[in-house]
Structure 1
Amino acid sequence: MWQYVLRRSGQAFVVILLVTFITFLLLHNLPGGAARSALGLDATQAQIDAYNVQMGYDQPFLVQYAMYLGRLFSGDLGFSFQQNQPVVDLIVQRLPKTMVLSFLAAVVALLIAIPLGVVQATRRGQWPDYLVTSVALLAYATPLFFLGMLLIVLFSQTIPLLPPQAPQGFSVLDILADWPGLILPVVTLAIVTLAAYTRYVRSTMIDNLQENYIRTARAKGMSEGRVVIRHALRNSLFPVISLLGMYIPALFSGALVVEQLFNYPGMGLMFWQATQTRDFPILLATTTIVAIATVVGSLLADIAYAVADPRVRLSGGSE
């Protein structure tokens, strides 16, 4: 097991380096460059040249990238001239809010998807299965921004029950205190993963209900509910564990749209605003954090899958 963890950690480190390298390459080859984004359109060529010398942008690309990695490993993510703040301070302020939004959306999606998947599997080929499948596919195919606007129109204007804007508190506690404003963003983001979770639970439940141990449990006289919940559902949740780790990028990309749509003060909104102003330090830092979260989430999901299911044998790990 430890050999597997070390090997996967090494692979994750290489992936993160590649992501930072490609992002650094793309951003620093955009027209105008970092100097123009920091100094503005009115900056003279002399000012741009002086800025490039000061920041080391006049050095060869690999030297610039090595300098960036050195600052990154020391915890220095750069300085945002647009926000007039260190990027670390901005991330410390924004990241917990996005984590809260993504966590609540994942919990809501799972709480809805698991029962729906069970209903589909136990009623396979019947109208509940067809109904849930149709609704899930419709939700999956609906663009996220359109769905969010539809919910705003329905529940904020037509039926004025919820505020159209997300909470604007400075801290996580302020955000949670204004919980009615969280409902529409959380529900909108939850629908991103709801359909996928439902389909996964359904397919794995159907496979498990055909296994020999299910037939044995039924032959012993167990009730159908106990067979489904205690045996089939328990083993069907293992793929969902892996899916949770792999859906971190989807949650962030969904959060970017949702935060911009509902004006939620998280990482997604900050990234969106940084793209408009070409705030290179924020773009680099955000991409790096998402890459780290993705590979770490994938690694933790694989480890959790192996711990949850003793039948899993990891090559290079303990038997």
Structure 2
Amino acid sequence: MSQSTPRPAQARTLDDSTLIARARSVLTIEANAVTALAARIDAQFVRAVDIVLQSRGRVIVSGVGKSGHVGRKIAATLASTGTPAYFVHPAEAAHGDLGMIQPDDILIALSNSGSTEELLVIVPFAKRMGARLIAMTGRADSPLAQLSDVHLDVGVAEEACSLNLAPTASTTAALAMGDALAVVLLDARGFSPEDFARSHPGGALGRRLLTHVRDVMRSGDAIPFVTPEASFADALLEISRKGMGMTAICDVVNGAPGKLLGVFTDGDLRRLLERTGNITGLKIAEVMHTSPRCITPDALAAEAATKMEQLSITRLLVIDAQGILVGALNTQDLLTAKVI
């Protein structure tokens, strides 16, 4: 089996100061290209937004080469922010995938020159089917711009490439314009953090915005609790048995926890032993805290994590609107659920 020949090491032809200056120049050129777009946000951009909002179809993004890579990212951003979208390669569309575009759809075509042959092949067919065309090009007089229902000018004064050839500033400008369109559509739709989370259920953000206390709390027999008449020894046994370092004190109704009255923790035990060595005959009601830290089951689990951090505690009791004890949770429960 043949092996590829390793590429020879290349000597660096730039000294440190030149290298740093060149990198800064690239960033400046690209930043200027994006800044210049702000002055071009006009009635054409508003029309593009309205076309998308009024459409009953989807947004299909298409482009070739570097524009295609940018187009994939724009489609992904639109889809994750409330605008159904996907990417179709124009060459594949010309060989059968054009059937993926329907009359109610909107085609966003990206081409810096506005003369990309593969796009110019499929655009007339897409428009004939009834699809609307939003073109992002660097030339308002280009064939693609002339065919469009809306033209968004993403032209740049120069590429960041020292040869002024490699798509650099132009792709950055197109990407930024795509982001502007996606974010404005997000705002126009009233897209909420919860909506965003539903598009990202597998990520940390989704867990933080979709996971509620009721989803992670301990309930039923796993809740540590005793009645106010319980002996101190019984309370310590419950703390040990349930493994949460605390026990709630509450009324009992039909064998289930009732109204929450107080809490006693292992920290309270240490402090009590420091104050007095005689705990014989104590009732738990005599030493419990009557204002326990609580949260409701409908609260976000992330809210519980924030509350624990702010109060410098590691556990919370969960009560309903009537003050009935319905659960308990600690930081380990939140870690297990990957909320924190």
Shorter chain as denominator, the TM-score bin is under 0.3
Query: If each structure's helix is expressed as a fraction of its own residues, which one has the higher value?
Result: 1
How does the TM-score come out when normalised to structure 1?
0.26
Q: Which has the larger radius of gyration?
A: 2
Query: If each structure's strand is expressed as a fraction of its own residues, which one has the higher value?
Result: 2
Higher relative contact order (CA 8 A, sep 6+): 1
